Structure formats: C-alpha cells, structure tokens
C-alpha cells in the first residue's frame, strides 16, 4: 500500500506539471484557435528563466521566481506581437506551422545561450522529504501539487468571476460579437498568450528541480500535455487538469503494474482510444466548431 | 550551335568521371589529408559528443604540431549527427560524397553506428566508432573499428563487480530502451545466469523519461541486492537522484555514462555514495605521464575534464595517424594495417584488433572516494 501511495504521489506531481502545460495549450487554443506546438518550449524557457535567475544571477528565491515569471510574461507579449499578430489573418494552419518553426528556433536559441549540458536547479525545499503512509515523499513534489491546484483555482476564478476573464471567454466564443460589444479583442488575445506563457513558466520552474534544466526537455512535456488535452477534451480547462493527472498516473502506475517497457504505449494508447471512441475527450464539447 | 552525338556523349562521360577523378587527387596529393567525423554536436547526445569533438580537435592540433602525416597536415571535417539515426546517416553520406575523406570517425552511439554501418560498407573507407553494441561488429562489416569495449565486455565488468566486489546473489537490471540498453541488459543476464546469480527483475525506461520511481520500487520489491544500470548521461543522473530519494540501499553499478563529466556535474558526492561504475579506463593524471599530459591539455583548452569517450577518440586519432604514416592512404591498406595491430600502445588501452574490428577488451571498476567525487580504481577486468 505504501508503494501504491508513493507511486500515486509521484504520478500526481508529474501529472500536475503536464496539467499546467496542457492548460497553457487550452487557454491559447480557446482564445485564438491556434494549437501552440511551441508549448513544450515555453515550459523549457520557464525552466531556463529559473536557471538564469537562480543559478547565473544568484538572486534570492522570491526575487528569482518573480523575475523568471516576469520574463515569461514578457515573452508571452513578444510571442503575441512577433508571431501571432503578424499571422493572425492567415489560415490557422499557417499559424500552427509558425508555432512549430518558433519551437525549433526557441530550442536552438536556448542551446546557443545555455549550451547542451543540463543544469541542476536547486529547490528551496532541496532534500526535504516527509513520510506519508509509509511512503517517502519529496516536499517539492507536494509543493508542485499544491501550486498546480492553486493556479488552476486562480485561473478558474479569473475566467468565471472577473470581467476580464468573462471577456476572454466571450472572445473565445465569437471574436466579431465580442468586438461589437466593445471588448478590446487585441488586448484580450495578448493576455491569453501571456497567461499561457506564465503557466508554462510556472510548470518549468516546478519541473527544474525535479528533472534537470535541459534544452531538450520541452518536447516530451509537449507530447504528454498534448495527450492530456486530447484525453481531457481539447479546449476544456477541467479536461486539461484531469487529462494531465490521468497521463501522469497512467505513466507511473502503468510502468509499475503493467510494464515499464510499454509505459508510453499505455499513455498514448489511451489517447488513441479516446480519439476513436470519444474524440471530444472527457470534458470536451461533442460538436467542435474549430479544427 | 549544333552538338554532335559523339561530343555530347564525351561531355556526359567527362561529367560522370570528373567527381571520381577528385578522389585520388584528394587522398594522394600533397595537400591536407581530410578525415571525416560525424559527431552529435547538438541535441541530447551531445553531452558525450562534445567530448570527442574536443578530443579530435586536440588530436588534430597535436598531430599537426609534430609533423602531421609524413609532412602533410591533417584536417578533420565535422558533421553533426544530432540525436537521430537518419541525421547520422545523412551526415556520413554528405562527408563521403562531398569531402571524400581518407578515414572516418563515427559517433559513440550504437543506434547511430548501426544505422550508418551499411553506408560504411558501401563506401569502403575505414571508420572508427565507439558504440558498444555487439550487434555492430556481428554485422560483418570489415571497415568498422571499435575504440571502446563492447557492451558484452562492459556487462562482464558489471557482473564481475556484482559477483566479486559486492558478492550479491540477487540482481535487478534497469536499462534504457534502445540498442545499447537492451543489448547490455541481455548480455548481463546471460553472464549473471552463467554464474548462477538470480536476475530478479528487468525494468526498462525510455530515453526521454523523467520519472523512474515505478521501476526502482519494482526492483526493491523483488529483493534486488544490487542493481545494474545501463544508462545515458542525463537519465543516469536522474535515476541516481530518485534512487537515493526512494531510500534504496542496494548498491548500484552503472555503465560508463554514469561517471562521465556531464553526469557527475549534476550529482553531489552524497548522490554517488554506494555506487560503482564500469568505465573503459580511469581518466586520472596518476595513471601515466601521457594520461596526465592529455588531461592537462584538455582542461587548458576546453575548461572541463575529459572523460573516457574523449580519450578513446584521442587515442583513435593517433592510431589512425600511425596507420596512415605506415600504410599510406589506400583504404584497403589502412584496413589491413589496423587489423594487424595486436598491442598498439594508446593512452587509455593497448589496442588489439580482432577479426571483427573490436580493439578494446578490458574495463575498470571504479567508485567515488568517500565524501568526494574523485574516482578510485576498484578492479581491472580483462576479457579474452
């Protein structure tokens, strides 16, 4: 039982990170109709923003985290202005290909700046563990779960209880109608990229101490986050959360109780199963108006 | 203007022959001798790739400083293999067709070596490589010469560590899921079973995996008294950290990537406690004056420590230079010369090539000194 608990905690922690990256996907998709294939590199940039602030600049923890998140927000604005905005009238597929190109550019830019060697980022809770139900759990993993829950809650509050969030949802439903109602659509769209970048940045900062900062870390995260959004339902916020945790748990528990050699097959097999049986995912709408 | 049929055929023939005419001119002329090297310079495999990129550059400089190859300068032309087999094949083919080198160095990754092997066979120019998979040499390619021990030699070293140093009777195996990991694990199982050691579990992981808790817990629950790890650098460091975090007490014996510089810089001395590693050779200044000189030059030039992969290619470059000095640049003569080497004195090893192109038949078992990351020799293992 202790082992199951241990594995479940690890699955939740890693699933929480997938969930944050998946929410980044969802927010951008919902507001702009663009599937951001650079989402994994956003997470990688978040981690390296942490490297720059914590390891290179040696800033104290709170300032370093704030600086890293600020850098990610600024990156979101830049991405909106330099990638999305110039292509906004192009067909969706052009924008999607643009995100793929930017993804490659981001990875190579990080390689040029930080080099290919992975970097160990310290955690403020380095080495701290607690024993829960016979399982030794890293406090950083517990913190990751708590922060994920907090961010998801905050995001739900923003989208459902603030006028800005309601505006974002309005733009997501119908850009023309939102514009006619007087909403500043450009600002709302920019904000969705900023939010996506911030969430990816948070995921990257949480991941850094658990994995290592590495310029190639973005692709596996993006793949798992993509699987999470398919399973949870493309465009659904609760779907992204449940999908992320589902992928994290299926990976860890599948490796333990079925086969470690086939653990990715299990996650992606489930994703393919959903595409066949329930393409809208767990929480997605049955009829999609975007593709 | 009219062109006669004869003139047209002549010009076509000239166009076809012209590129071939360049081959002997480049190889036998009086200019630089070109050598091709396909190295993972970017991507996840560059962690070790940069070591041999640097070592080959250092070797090129030192060979040229001491008169080159019978008075001719050596020039190594590099192509990036990145992290994929197809890129490795493209890099090799590009060098073979455009640069037409007199000799090749391939990467240290078995999957890339296996992918490139058929092309090497077609080009028929000797190539040195450092992938460990036995399958590369078993493929019957007479043009490939290995600079490191095979995985079965390394696995035998790991088994020797388990049976003679740790005296464990129940062993678990954790391996990266590719040609290297699967081959190494299979060789280890065979060698362990031959010594009546029980393999209690075999667990695999993907190259991009980041969580290994399920595999580690499974091995613990199966009662492993020691764990063999077949890893690449970064995943090896992550496995080790999670191994400690999960409170594993069984000693861990890692393959050569566990103690390379790229891995060690991610780990603390505490992470490395109760671990052993099977390396090609111990890269330590105390081993020999030539080793000391190589380490000092490498550190001065590149700002970090060399690892056994870097040393293997450094030795390889000097071995190639000797071959060219004594046998000339004819590929068949170079191949023949290399196959006759039964005790070529390198810095890391005495290279003795067998009919399958395997030149290294020994490994060392090492561990870290208490409270530090400095390595100490536990045992040398030589296999026939």
Question: Shortest Cα distance from A34 to chain B (angstroms)?
Answer: 26
Under 8 Å between Cβ of A207 and A248:
no
- According to CATH, the topology of domain B152-284+364-382 is Rossmann fold (3.40.50)
Q: Is A216 helix (H, G, I), strand (E, B) or coil?
A: coil
Residue A287 lies in a domain: no
Under 8 Å between Cβ of B176 and B215:
no
Under 8 Å between Cβ of A20 and A199:
yes
- CA gap B195, B190 in Å, rounded: 9
Segment B349-363 shows an average pLDDT of 94
- CA gap A94, A148 in Å, rounded: 32
Direct distance between the N- and C-terminal alpha carbons of chain A, in angstroms, rounded to an integer? 44
Shortest CB distance from A261 goes to which of B177, B208, B237? B177
Q: Is A5 on the interface with B (CB under 8 A)?
A: no
Mean of per-residue pLDDT scores for chain B: 89
Residue A285 lies in a domain: no
Residue A8 lies in a domain: yes
Question: Shortest Cα distance from B112 to chain A (angstroms)?
Answer: 19
Q: Which structural domain, as residue segments, surrounds residue A80?
A: 2-277
CB contact under 8 A, B234 and A116: no
CB contact under 8 A, B215 and A255: yes
Residue A288 lies in a domain: no
How far is residue B224 from each of residues B75, B101, B169, B173, B230, measured CA to CA in Å? Answer: 50, 49, 9, 9, 16
- CA gap B234, B256 in Å, rounded: 12
Question: What is the interface size between A and B, counted as CB pairs within 8 Å?
Answer: 79
Number of domains in chain A: 1
CB contact under 8 A, A210 and B210: yes
Q: Which residues of B touch A (CB under 8 A)?
A: 42-44, 46-47, 50, 83, 177, 203-206, 208-211, 213-215, 217-218, 221, 234, 237-238, 245-247, 262, 265-266
Domain of A36: which CATH number? 1.10.3470
Segment A145-168 shows an average pLDDT of 89
CB contact under 8 A, A14 and B210: yes
- CA gap A123, A51 in Å, rounded: 11
B314-350 per-position pLDDT tens digit: 999 999 999 999 999 999 999 999 999 999 999 999 9
The listed CATH number (3.40.50.2300, 3.90.1150.10, 3.30.70.260, 3.30.470.20) that belongs to domain B17-149+288-361: 3.40.50.2300
CB contact under 8 A, B246 and A255: no
- Quote the pLDDT of residue B130: 95
Question: Shortest Cα distance from B201 to chain A (angstroms)?
Answer: 11
Question: What are the chain A neighbours of B217 within 8 Å (beta carbons)?
Answer: 3, 6-7, 256
Kindly indicate the confidence band of residue B362, based on its pLDDT and cuts at 50, 70 and 90.
Answer: very high
Q: Which residue of A has its CA nearest to B234?
A: A118
Residue A171 lies in a domain: yes
User: What ipTM was predicted for this assembly?
Assistant: 0.81
Residue A257 lies in a domain: yes
Residue A46 lies in a domain: yes
Ranges of each domain in chain B: 17-149+288-361, 152-284+364-382
Residue A286 lies in a domain: no
pTM: 0.80
pLDDT at B247 over 60: yes
Listed range (A99-108, A123-132, B23-32, B106-115) with the worst mean pLDDT: B23-32
Question: Shortest Cα distance from A120 to chain B (angstroms)?
Answer: 6
B53-98 per-position pLDDT tens digit: 999 999 999 999 999 999 999 999 999 998 889 999 999 999 999 9
A166-173 long-range CB contacts below 8 Å, 24 or more apart? Answer: A168/A30, A168/A31, A168/A192, A169/A30, A171/A31, A172/A30, A172/A31
């Amino acid at each position: 039982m202790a082992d199951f608990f241990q594995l479940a905690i690890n699955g939740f922690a890693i699933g929480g990170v997938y969930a944050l990256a998946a929410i980044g996907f969802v927010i951008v998709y919902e507001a702009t109709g663009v599937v951001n294939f650079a989402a994994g590199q956003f997470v990688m940039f978040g981690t390296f923003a942490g490297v720059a602030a914590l390891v290179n600049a040696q800033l104290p923890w709170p300032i370093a985290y704030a600086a890293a998140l600020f850098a990610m927000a600024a990156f979101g604005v830049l991405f909106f202005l330099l990638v999305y905005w110039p292509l906004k009238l192009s067909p969706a597929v052009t924008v999607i290909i643009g995100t793929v190109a930017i993804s490659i550019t981001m990875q190579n830019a990080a390689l040029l700046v930080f080099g290919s060697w992975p970097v160990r980022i310290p955690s403020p809770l380095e080495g701290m563990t607690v024993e829960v139900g016979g399982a030794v759990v890293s406090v950083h993993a517990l913190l990751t779960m708590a922060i994920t829950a907090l961010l998801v809650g905050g995001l739900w509050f923003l989208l459902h209880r603030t006028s800005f969030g309601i505006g974002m949802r309005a733009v997501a439903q119908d850009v023309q109608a939102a514009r006619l109602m007087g909403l500043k659509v450009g600002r709302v769209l920019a904000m969705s990229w900023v939010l996506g970048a911030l969430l990816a940045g948070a995921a990257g900062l949480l991941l850094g101490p658990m994995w290592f900062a590495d310029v190639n870390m973005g692709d596996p995260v993006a793949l798992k986050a993509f699987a999470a959004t398919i399973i949870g339902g493309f465009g659904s916020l609760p779907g992204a959360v449940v999908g992320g945790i589902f992928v994290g748990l299926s990976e860890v528990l599948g490796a333990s109780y079925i086969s470690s050699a086939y653990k990715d097959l299990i996650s992606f097999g489930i994703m393919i199963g959903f595409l066949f049986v329930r393409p809208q995912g767990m929480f997605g709408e049955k009829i999609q108006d975007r593709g | 203007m009219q062109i006669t049929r004869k003139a047209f055929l002549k010009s076509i023939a000239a166009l076809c022959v012209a590129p071939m005419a360049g081959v002997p001119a480049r190889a036998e002329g009086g200019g630089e001798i070109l050598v091709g090297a396909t190295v993972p310079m970017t991507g996840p495999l560059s962690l070790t790739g940069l070591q041999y990129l640097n070592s080959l550059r250092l070797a090129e400089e030192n060979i040229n400083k001491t008169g080159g190859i019978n008075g001719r300068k050596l020039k190594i032309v590099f192509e990036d293999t990145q992290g994929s087999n197809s890129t490795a094949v493209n890099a090799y083919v590009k060098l073979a067709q455009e640069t037409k080198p007199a000799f090749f160095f391939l990467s240290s990754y078995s999957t890339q070596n296996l992918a490139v092997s058929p092309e090497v066979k077609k080009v028929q120019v000797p190539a040195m490589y450092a992938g460990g998979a036995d399958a590369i040499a078993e493929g019957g390619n007479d043009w490939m010469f290995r600079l490191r021990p095979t995985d079965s030699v390394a696995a035998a070293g790991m088994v020797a560590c388990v049976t003679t140093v740790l005296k464990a009777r129940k062993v678990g195996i954790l391996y990266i899921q590719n040609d290297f990991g699967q081959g190494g694990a299979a060789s280890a199982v065979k060698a362990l079973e031959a010594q009546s050691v029980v393999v209690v579990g075999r667990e695999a992981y993907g190259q991009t995996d980041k969580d290994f808790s399920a595999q580690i817990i499974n091995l613990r629950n199966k009662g492993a008294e020691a764990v063999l790890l077949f890893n690449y650098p970064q995943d090896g460091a992550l496995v080790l950290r999670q191994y400690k975090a999960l409170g594993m007490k069984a000693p861990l014996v890692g393959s050569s990537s566990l103690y390379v510089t790229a891995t060690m810089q991610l780990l603390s001395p505490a992470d490395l406690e109760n671990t052993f590693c099977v390396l090609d050779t111990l890269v330590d200044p105390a081993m020999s004056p030539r080793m000391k000189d190589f380490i000092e030059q490498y550190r001065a030039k590149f700002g970090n420590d060399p690892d056994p992969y870097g040393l293997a290619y450094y030795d390889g470059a000097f071995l190639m230079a000797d071959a060219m000095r004594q046998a000339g640049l004819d590929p068949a003569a170079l191949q023949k010369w290399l196959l006759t080497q039964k005790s070529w004195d390198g810095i890391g090893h005495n290279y003795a090539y067998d009919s399958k192109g395997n030149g290294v038949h020994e490994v060392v078992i090492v561990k870290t000194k208490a409270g530090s990351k400095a390595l100490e020799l536990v045992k040398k293992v030589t296999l026939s």
